[in-house]
Structure 1
C-alpha cells in the first residue's frame, strides 16, 4: 500500500496547489469544497499507473507537464461534472458533505464547475494529444448526460452505450493521458484507452448492482437511489438479475485485461495494479 499511497499523496499535493492558484480568489473556497471533500481518486491513479506501466516518469516529485499534472486535470474534469450531476439530481450531499449548489447556491456552483474546467485545460494545453483525449471524453460525457435526461435507454445495448459515455469516457481519457505522458505511440494510447473504458463500464454496472442489493450501512450510502431518481440502472432497464448484471461487469473486465495485454507493457508494479483494478471493480462492496 505504500506504493499507492505515495502516488495518491503526490496527486493530492498537486491538486491542492492547483486549487490554491484558482482565479478569481473568490472562487477558491467553492472549488476546494468540491474537489477536496474526498473521493477515491481512481481516475488520476489510472493516469499515473498507466504512465509508469509504459516506462514513463509520472513526476511524483513535482515535475510539471507530467502524468501527475494530467492526473490532477482529469480529476478536476470529473469533479466539475459531479457539480452538474448534483444540480440535475437535486442531490443534497456529495461524498458525505453538502453538495456545492446547496452550500453556495446554483450560480456559484456552476461558476465553480467552470473554474475547475479552466484549471484542468490549463494543465493539458501544452500537449495536443492530451487536449484531444480530454476533449473527446467531454463530448462523450456531454452526450451521455443529454441522453440520460431526454432519451433514457430502454434496452441493454442502449444502456451500455450510455455507460461508455457517462463513465467509460473519463476513464478512457485518464489512461490515454498516462500513455501520452509516457510518450507512447497512438496504438498503445488506444489500447490503454480501451482498457480503461471497459473498466469504467464494469465499475458502473457494479455500482448499479450494489444500489440494488447492498446493505446501506455496509455500502456507506442509501440504496435504491437509481429507482427513486428514475436513473437508468442496468437492472432497471433490462431483465437481467443482479447476478447476470454482475457477469456483464465481469465480461467487460476480461475484455479490459485483454486490451491491456495487447500493449507493449513494461512489467512493473504499476501494470500489476492496473490488472488488479480491472478485477477489483467487479467484486467491490462499496
Structure 2
C-alpha cells in the first residue's frame, strides 16, 4: 500500500503545484475546488504505474499523469452541468458552488493547464487529442443517440470512459519511451479497465447508497440515461459478470507486454480486478 501511496502523493503534490500557479486567484480557487476535493486518482496512477512497469522512471510520467487527471476533471465539470448534479465527491459540484459560467471557465482552465503539461511531447499531444475526440463523441452519443442494446452501450463506454483510461496508460508508456506495440497493448489493457469501471459504476448507481458512493444514486434512471443495467435489462449479478469479463480481457492484454518491473505490473493487475468489486 505504501508503494501506491508514494506514487499518488507525488501526483497530488504536482497537482497542488499546478493549481497554485493558476491565475487569477478566483480561477485558481475554482479549479482547486474541482481537482482537490478528492477523487480516486485512478487514471494518473495508471500512467505512473505503466511507466514504471516498463522500466521507466515514474518521475518522468508525473506531468502526463497530472495532465490526464486535469482533463478528466474538466469533463466532470461539464457532466455535472448537463446532468444538473449538485454533488460531486461529497462536495458541491462546480456549477452549484460558483454558477454555470464560472464552472465552464474552470473546465476550460483545467484543459489549458493539462495541454501545457503535454506540450513537450508530440506523441503525448496526439494521444490526448485523440482521446478527447473519442470522449466528445461519447458524450454526444449519450445525449442524442442513446444506446438501446449492449453493443451500442459498449461503444459508448469505450469512448466516454475507456478513452481517457487508454490515454493514461499510453502516456505512461510514452514516458517510458516504449515502442508502438507496447503503447498499444497498454492502451488496450487500460481501455478495458475503463469500460469495466463504467459498467460497475452503473451497477453502483443502481444499488449503492449515496453516503457510501459520495454522490447521488439513481441518477441514470432519473435523467433517462443509458445505464448498462437499464439498456441490457440484466440482473446485478449478470452485469457484474459482464464487467468481470472485460476485466479479464484487460489482464490478457497486459500479459502480452514485456514489463520488467513486476511490482508495478502486479498493481496494474490488482487494479483490473478491483474495479469490478469496488463499492464506490
Instruction: State the Cα distance separating 1:213 from its structure 2 match.
Output: 2.4
* Alpha-carbon distance between aligned partners in 2 of 1:92 and 1:114, rounded to the nearest angstrom: 20
SS of 1:230's equivalent in the other structure is coil
Residues 1:220 and 1:76: Cα distance change in structure 2 (over 3 Å): closer
* Alpha-carbon distance between aligned partners in 1 of 2:44 and 2:213, rounded to the nearest angstrom: 23
Residue equivalent to 1:164: 158
Residue equivalent to 2:190: 196
Residue equivalent to 2:14: 14
Instruction: State the Cα distance separating 1:214 from its structure 2 match.
Output: 2.8
Q: 1:135-187: per-residue Cα shift (whole Å, max 9, x none)?
A: 11100000011111111000100000000111100000000000000000010
Instruction: State the Cα distance separating 1:230 from its structure 2 match.
Output: 1.0
Correspondences of 1:237-252 after superposition (within 5 Å): 237-252=231-246
The one of 171, 175, 200 aligned to 2:169: 175
* Alpha-carbon distance between aligned partners in 1 of 2:43 and 2:142, rounded to the nearest angstrom: 22
* Alpha-carbon distance between aligned partners in 2 of 1:218 and 1:20, rounded to the nearest angstrom: 31
SS of 1:169's equivalent in the other structure is helix
Instruction: State the Cα distance separating 1:219 from its structure 2 match.
Output: 3.7
Instruction: State the Cα distance separating 1:242 from its structure 2 match.
Output: 1.6
Instruction: State the Cα distance separating 1:72 from its structure 2 match.
Output: 0.3
SS of 1:184's equivalent in the other structure is coil
Residue equivalent to 1:110: 104
Q: 1:3-23: per-residue Cα shift (whole Å, max 9, x none)?
A: 111111100110010111113
Q: Which runs of 5+ in 2 are unaligned?
A: none
Instruction: State the Cα distance separating 1:267 from its structure 2 match.
Output: 3.6
- 1:98 paired to 2:95: no
Q: 1:72-124: per-residue Cα shift (whole Å, max 9, x none)?
A: 00000000000000100111111111111111111111111001100000000
Residue equivalent to 1:124: 118
Instruction: State the Cα distance separating 1:210 from its structure 2 match.
Output: 1.6
Moved more, 150-159 or 265-274: 265-274
How does the TM-score come out when normalised to structure 2? 0.97
Residue equivalent to 1:51: 51
SS of 2:148's equivalent in the other structure is coil
* Alpha-carbon distance between aligned partners in 1 of 2:240 and 2:110, rounded to the nearest angstrom: 34
Q: 1:177-227: per-residue Cα shift (whole Å, max 9, x none)?
A: 000000000100000000000000000111111222234444444432211
Residue equivalent to 1:33: 33
**Aligned Cα RMSD in Å?**
1.1
8 Å CA contact retained: 2:87, 2:93: yes
SS of 2:220's equivalent in the other structure is helix
Q: Which runs of 5+ in 1 are unaligned?
A: 60-65
Moved more, 272-281 or 232-241: 232-241
SS of 2:58's equivalent in the other structure is coil
